[in-house]
Amino acid sequence: MSDTLNPCVSCGACCGTFRVSFYWSEAEDGGGVVPVDLTEPLNLFMRNMRGTNDRAPRCVALQGEIGSCVSCGIYEQRPTPCREFDMSGENGIYNEACDRARAKYGLPPLFSPVKPSLIESYVNLSASTLQEHVQSPGL
C-alpha cells in the first residue's frame, strides 16, 4: 500500500476478510512492534488484530473504504501475516486468497493462472500456424 499503481491502495479486501493472527511476541508487550492495543488474545500463544476475528472481519488498523481508497494505519508495524500476504500476480504468483477476498467486495481478480494444458495448446497452435505460413508460398 505504498504507491498509486499498487492495486492494494484501492482495495483492502484482505484486511476485511481474514483473521490476522500471529505469535504473541510480535506485539509490543512481547518485544515486537505491533501496537498491543490493536490486538487481542486468541489463545495461549497467539494474538490477532482486533476486528479480524469478528463475524464481519475488519482490522481496526485499516483506514478508508474497502474497494475505494485504503491504507494501513500501522504499515511499518504490521504483523507477519500482513507482510507475507502478496497480492495475486505479484512476481507472477497466483494468490487465490487475494482474489477470493476481492470477490467478496465485488472487485475483479488481479490474476488468472493459465493451465499448462492451455499453454501447450497455444504452443501447438502457434507452431502449426507458423508452418502454414512458411509453406504457403508456392509449396
4-12, 39-47, 112-120, 128-136 -> range binding ligand SF4 (CB under 6 A): 4-12
Dmax (CA) for the chain in angstroms is 80
Q: Which of 24, 39, 48, 101 binds ligand SF4 (CB under 6 A)?
A: 101
Number of residues assigned to the chain: 139
Q: How many CB atoms lie within 10 A of CB 89?
A: 17
Q: Please tell me the distance from the alpha carbon of residue 139 to that of residue 133, in angstroms, as a whole number.
A: 11
Nearer residue to ligand SF4 within complex by CB, 27 or 61:
61
Q: Which helix (H) or strand (E) holds 99?
A: helix 96-104
Within 46-75, which residues bind ligand SF4 (CB under 6 A)? 49, 59, 61-62, 72, 74
Within 79-98, which residues bind ligand SF4 (CB under 6 A)? 82, 85, 87, 98
Q: Are 72 and 62 in contact (CB under 8 A)?
A: yes
Contact residues: ligand SF4, CB under 6 A: 7-8, 11-15, 20, 49, 59, 61-62, 72, 74, 78, 82, 85, 87, 98, 101-102, 110
